[in-house]
Amino acid sequence: MIEIAFFDPRDYDEVIALWSQTEGLTLRDVDSREAIARYLERNPKLSFVARDRGRLVGTVLAGTDGRRGYLQHLAVTPSHRGQGLGRALAERAVTALGALGIEKCHLMVRQENAPARAFWQRLGWSERGDIIVMSHAEPDAANA
């Protein structure tokens, strides 16, 4: 039986193990234990983990800047894909954001990650051709 709960900082070791094994998911320094704890503190009750009989099988990070929502690091173990768990995690995050009045969400998918792009399109998300993502990182934070 799958149970979905709020992502607690104590879940970090299991979550980072899943993320590390998920193809197409890029980890950076901002995925450190401390950075994730800060993210969860700033965005309470927006991120989720899924467990099957106690075993971590899925995650999603969600947050907001107060205007827009952002989904990140949706991951499901290969053994649990194709069963609606990714959809359930995404919907749970969007619903939690909606309860805060956030009506529009964004996410980023690597250009070459065709399976992830197809997944999000099946859920009704649209690729945007009208914007370009630009980033700035401090010179000494090459892996930010």
pLDDT tens digits, 67-126: 999 999 999 999 999 999 999 999 999 999 999 999 999 999 999 999 999 999 999 999
Instruction: Calculate the average pLDDT of the chain.
Output: 95
Q: Considering the entire predicted model, what is its pTM?
A: 0.93
* All residues at 6 or more sequence positions from 17 whose CB lies less than 8 Å from its CB, including other chains: 56
Residue 143 has pLDDT above 80, yes or no: no
Give the burial class of 124: count Cβ atoms within 10 A of its Cβ; 0-12 exposed, 13-18 middle, 19 or more buried.
Answer: exposed
Question: Which H or E run includes 18?
Answer: helix 12-21
Measure the CA angle with vertex 19, ends 127 and 93; round to 5°.
55
Structural domains in the chain, CATH included, are: 2-122 (3.40.630.30)
CA–CA separation, 141 vs 12, rounded Å? 22
Calpha distance 122→12 (Å, rounded)? 29
Residues 122 and 87: their CA atoms lie apart, in Å, by 9
User: Tokens in use for 127?
Assistant: 């690729």
pLDDT of res. 106? 97
- The Cα 29–Cα 117 span in angstroms is 24
Confidence bin at 138 (pLDDT 50/70/90): confident
The per-residue pLDDT for range 35-75, each reduced to its tens digit, is: 999 999 999 999 999 999 999 999 999 999 999 999 999 99
Residue 100 confidence (pLDDT): 98
Nearest 5°: phi and psi at 76?
A: -135, 135
Distance CA 58, CA 75 (A): 5
Distance CA(130)–CA(93), nearest Å, equals 25
